[in-house]
Amino acid sequence: MNRLIFLSLMVLSMAVWSFKQKGSPTIVSFAVPQKWPAPKFDFAKNPLTQEGFELGRKLFYDPVLSRDSTISCASCHLQYTGFTHVDHNVSHGIDGRKGTRNSPVLINLAWSSSFHWDGGVNHIEVQGLNPIQHPAEMDNTMEEVINRLQRSGNYPALFDAAFGSKEITTVRIMKALSQFDLSLVSSNSKYDQVMRKEKGIAFTEQEKKGLKLFRKNCVACHKEPLFTNDFFASNGLPMDPILKDVGRYGITHDPKDSLLFKIPTLRNIEYTFPYMHDGRFRKLKDVLKFYSEGIDLKSKNLHPVLQKKVTLSENDQKDIIAFLYTLTDKEFLFNNKFSFPK
Amino acid sequence: MKIAVFTFAIVCSWTVFSQTVVKIVPLFGGRSIELNHEYKLKDSIRFKFSTLRFYVSNVGISSNSGEMEVKKIHLFDLEEPSSFELFKTSESVRSIHFLLGTDSLTNVSGILDGPLDPIRGMYWTWNSGYINFKLEGIKTTGDSITDVEYHLGGYLPPYATSRRIHLDNSSLSKELKIEIHLDEWLMMISDERKNSIMIPGKEATILMDHLVPNIRLGENE
């Protein structure tokens, strides 16, 4: 009799355990590349799960988020161009509306403490609210997005799988989208392979020269291995007379922040043109030329490093560009895991 | 059995009736404000409220038992009568203290739900952070009609807008009212301020400063 009771309890326990396993999302550990700093995002507060990531990916590629269901996050953040757009200088929204800034790349965001060119967004989980609600982007409301997802055939089940119930809320939508965004890690460029001393991988002579020049002239802001220091700076770019973008000042109202913009990562920069917050440079050679010849040393709030003229010969500029091309990570740009879900 | 039920009922009734209810009551000329009702501010200025929403957070009381927190976050909304009651307590309230607005930690904690869900229309997406106090309405000055929009928020110094409020209580009343005298506030700001403040900054902090002395504790008469 005792044995029967014991066996019954065992069977019951296993049934409970297997039920729990079936209902729980699959935790995915966030892999920090070798010798990289710890991420700034606290994954304990929004643990990555396979189901959360997949839901986030589906939302990222779904035009249902926009008011007229014509554009998705991917419309401005295309994977093969480093999750940014390349065909225009500022982002485009529904009805052909134009924004005022170049869409930023979505690369290694787990190491970022602020978002947008002016750093106005202080947490990745609230970033997605902007494009969805901005009149020049998706021009929708969260109420409408939630209604649409609730009415859709498959979303309630996906929310159930990711969060344990079919309830669809702002919080869950944003947490899923941020799980996808946080997973966009690019760490397998030629530069990375050389740094990891992988067999058979080496810089060319020109790339070596470029790296040396880069470390002398650029690394103060574009710090390795993330190729950004996550701060704001004015690089001396004069204000566009039409856009009149004051940058970080618009958030802090501190005159010292006037014309400061977030320092972008240079990873995959070969594919992320046009460059700068307003997309004014279409070619990397234009950017290098600007740093060498175009900076007005008296411009307001110019970064201290740039207050001493940067002198780069034409060959130096070419060498730096050759090095920057080693930051291209095709495994990232063409990874099916991040592509449109089929 | 009957005695047990009777005793239980007595205990329950005593617990309910011995509780102090603390409510938030926005006032205009000493009367509770109603949405879309026209109020006379000065001889030539009339005011109509269309939205009044604000956060009250980290609510605590001092009582005979000591200091205690009674509520973490509360969103008052003039459209939602259920939001008028801030808390109930069986303690004898000596003082109430709270933050008018949200604390800085809340503003940097990512996406939050309940009263803090951005769907409530109290969150700035372009400059992350909560609108601590939102008042919208129409001001009529003579024949001129102006939209008034005060979205007062911001958590970063020097333009942080949440304000610490401390209200002493000597009343034994079982219904305490946190009165917000908006007519007095609007009088203080009507001549010198803009009719629209939608961003964090100095003007928002000044308006919040002016709110503080107009928050007082009243009791049910």
Segment A292-337, tens digit of pLDDT = 999 999 999 999 999 999 999 999 999 999 999 999 999 999 999 9
Cα–Cα distance between B27 and B185 in angstroms, integer?
10
Residues of B with Cβ-Cβ distance to A46 under 8 angstroms: 110
Residues of A with Cβ-Cβ distance to B123 under 8 angstroms: 126, 129
Q: Write the pLDDT tens digit of every residue in B90-115.
A: 999 999 999 999 999 999 999 999 99
Which one of A42, A126, A133, A138 makes the best mutation probe of the B interface by having the most chain B beta carbons within 10 Å? Answer: A126
pLDDT of residue A11: 46
Q: How large a percentage of chain A has pLDDT more than 90?
A: 91
Q: Is the pLDDT of residue B85 over 60?
A: yes
- CA-based nearest residue to A108, from A1, A9, A235, A230: A230
Closest Cα of chain A to B129: distance in Å? 8
pLDDT of residue A1: 46
Cα–Cα distance between B45 and B55 in angstroms, integer?
28
> B15: burial class by Cβ within 10 Å (0-12, 13-18, 19+)?
exposed
Q: In degrees, to the nearest 5, what angle opens at C-alpha B172 toward C-alphas B171 and B178?
A: 50
Q: Which residue is listed with tokens 């063409």?
A: A334
Residues of A with Cβ-Cβ distance to B128 under 8 angstroms: 120-123, 126
Which residue type sits at A291?
Y
Please say whether the beta carbons of B216 and B167 come within 8 A.
Answer: yes
B34 band by pLDDT with thresholds 50, 70 and 90: very high
Contacts of A323 (CB under 8 A, 6+ apart): A191, A203, A206, A207, A209, A210, A211, A213, A214
pLDDT of residue A13: 46
- CA-based nearest residue to B123, from B197, B209, B195, B55: B55
Mean of per-residue pLDDT scores for chain B: 91
Contact between chains at B128 and A123 (C-beta distance less than 8 A): yes
Which one of B112, B128, B198 makes the best mutation probe of the A interface by having the most chain A beta carbons within 10 Å? Answer: B128
Contact between chains at B126 and A142 (C-beta distance less than 8 A): no
Residue ranges of chain A with per-residue pLDDT less than 50:
1, 6-7, 9-20
Which residue type sits at A294?
G
Contact between chains at A146 and B119 (C-beta distance less than 8 A): yes
Cα–Cα distance between A235 and A290 in angstroms, integer?
10
Closest Cα of chain A to B167: distance in Å? 32
Q: Is 0.90 exceeded by the ipTM?
A: no
Kindly report the backbone phi and psi dihedral angles of residue B183, in degrees, each rounded to the nearest multiple of 5, phi listed first: -65, -40
Which residue of chain B has the CA closest to A121?
Answer: B128
pLDDT of residue A139: 96
Q: What is the CATH number of domain A190-327?
A: 1.10.760.10
Helix, strand, or coil here: B97? strand
Kindly report the backbone phi and psi dihedral angles of residue B181, in degrees, each rounded to the nearest multiple of 5, phi listed first: -85, 85
Contact between chains at B119 and A174 (C-beta distance less than 8 A): no
How do B66-77 and B45-63 pair as beta strands?
A: antiparallel
Which one of A45, A46, A91, A122 makes the best mutation probe of the B interface by having the most chain B beta carbons within 10 Å? Answer: A122
Closest Cα of chain B to A307: distance in Å? 29
Task: Judge whether A253 is closer than 8 Å to chain B, CB to CB.
Answer: yes
pTM over 0.95: no
Question: Domain-by-domain residue ranges, chain A?
Answer: 3-186, 190-327
Contact between chains at B125 and A121 (C-beta distance less than 8 A): yes
Fold agreement (A3-186, A190-327): yes
Residues of B with Cβ-Cβ distance to A253 under 8 angstroms: 159, 200-202
Q: Write the pLDDT tens digit of every residue in A128-158.
A: 999 999 999 999 999 999 999 999 989 999 9
The class level of CATH for A3-186 reads mainly alpha
pLDDT of residue A268: 98
Closest Cα of chain B to A192: distance in Å? 31
Task: Judge whether A44 is closer than 8 Å to chain B, CB to CB.
Answer: no
Closest Cα of chain B to A169: distance in Å? 8
Contact between chains at B128 and A170 (C-beta distance less than 8 A): no
Q: Is the pLDDT of residue B152 over 70?
A: yes
Task: Judge whether A100 is closer than 8 Å to chain B, CB to CB.
Answer: no
Q: In degrees, to the nearest 5, what angle opens at C-alpha B112 toward C-alphas B107 and B118?
A: 85
Higher-pLDDT residue of A16, B164: B164
pLDDT of residue B44: 84
Contact between chains at A170 and B113 (C-beta distance less than 8 A): yes
pLDDT of residue B172: 86
Helix, strand, or coil here: B209? helix
Separation in Å, CA A148 to CA A126, A169, A253, B123: 20, 12, 38, 22
